[in-house]
Amino acid sequence: MQILTSAVKGFLMGAADIVPGVSGGTIALVLGIYERLLKFVSDCAKVLESGLKFDIAEFKKRIAGLDFAFGIPLALGVVTAVVSLAALIEGYMETQPERLAGFFFGLVVGSIYLAWRMFKQTEVSIAAKAGVAGVVGVVAFGVLGFQPAPAEDPALWIYLISGMISICAMILPGISGSFVLLMLGMYAAVLGAIHDRDLAVIAVFGLGAIIGLAVFSRILKKLLDAHHDLVLAAMVGLMIGSFRVLWPFPYGVGVISDVAGESVSGTALDAPTEDWPMVLVLGVVGLVLVLSVSFIADRTK
């Protein structure tokens, strides 16, 4: 029963991770397994560290101490969700890019609210946090202007870097790993590789994720311990800046997908098309979904 429960929880986390705006870390928090997840990730990083040092005795000791009954079914659940839902989302990227973009827009709006609520109200003033979020948001908005289209046929090393960066967001409540891929222009490429079962790309991306967990997870933990509110403010700023590419017109999100192989033209301020009512409805649905997750989390603390 414990194995089955872990697999189901992993599936829910994977389903959240594959859409920009909802964090798998948030779902883990709601399900009451976040601390256990962080411990498992930390233990795995220590196993990798001892393996790289060729410390066989320590490697065996740390392998034996891993919570396999929790970690393996959880990972299988995540993988199952990602693989099974990739085709569905990729299909909508091609056929309904504007509506999908509107849905993602609502998800990110809700995630900004959720991340802002996670501030610990330390000695860092509201003005300082708002200032950090604003500066990062403006910078991100400007930088994303140089990425008007999704990456086409990216090199393997780009998948490696993308895996290293996005995995860190996937284990943090409030920010989505898929959202980070969206900002990098790699969302469509990674999703396509998963759907097409491109094992070489998946392996390289997975390797990047492992390296990211081993290296960045500790750095992120130290930063969160020392500067929790400012780090969260920077994440909020990134999400605010992402609105440049999440505006759902003229053809959905430029960095999600081209339409019928054509280049996406226009700017974030282009006028909406005749489909705007449905786009608006889906945006509200995305916002309500994230707020519902927050509500459940508040009730199950």
171 has a pLDDT exceeding 80: no
| Position 146 confidence tier, pLDDT thresholds 50, 70, 90 | low
Q: How far is residue 15 from each of residues 12, 18, 26, 72, 211, measured CA to CA in Å?
A: 5, 6, 12, 17, 23
32 has a pLDDT exceeding 60: yes
Which residues have CB under 8 Å from 278's CB, separation 6+?
99, 102
Angle separating helix axes 2-17 and 68-95, nearest 10 degrees: 30
262 has a pLDDT exceeding 50: no
Neighbours of 215 (CB within 10 A): 15
| Position 151 confidence tier, pLDDT thresholds 50, 70, 90 | low
- Please, are residues 41 and 215 in contact by the beta-carbon 8 Å criterion? no
Three-class SS of residue 185? coil
What residues does each domain of the chain span? 2-299
Query: Which range, 31-35, 139-143, 154-158, has the best average confidence (pLDDT)?
Result: 154-158
- Please, are residues 228 and 120 in contact by the beta-carbon 8 Å criterion? yes
Three-class SS of residue 20? coil
pLDDT at 76: 92
pLDDT at 168: 76
C-alpha 251/C-alpha 262 separation (Å) is 10
DSSP for 66-91?
S-HHHHHHHHHHHHHHHHHHHHHHHH
pLDDT at 263: 41
Total-model pTM? 0.67
What value does the mean pLDDT of the chain take? 76
Which residues have CB under 8 Å from 204's CB, separation 6+?
156, 157, 159, 160, 163
Q: How far is residue 190 from each of residues 94, 158, 163, 177, 256, measured CA to CA in Å?
A: 15, 11, 9, 12, 11
pLDDT at 266: 44
- Please, are residues 161 and 208 in contact by the beta-carbon 8 Å criterion? yes
- Tokens 């029963």, residue located: 1
Range name among 122-131, 231-240, 254-263, 264-273 with the lowest pLDDT average: 254-263
| Position 254 confidence tier, pLDDT thresholds 50, 70, 90 | very low
| Percent of residues, the chain, with pLDDT higher than 90 | 4
> If you average pLDDT over residues 47-61, what whole number do you get?
83
Query: Which range, 114-123, 174-183, 196-205, has the best average confidence (pLDDT)?
Result: 196-205
> If you average pLDDT over residues 126-135, what whole number do you get?
81
Range name among 68-72, 179-183, 250-254, 287-291 with the lowest pLDDT average: 250-254
- Please, are residues 187 and 178 in contact by the beta-carbon 8 Å criterion? yes
C-alpha 101/C-alpha 270 separation (Å) is 14
- Tokens 């046929």, residue located: 153
C-alpha 291/C-alpha 285 separation (Å) is 10
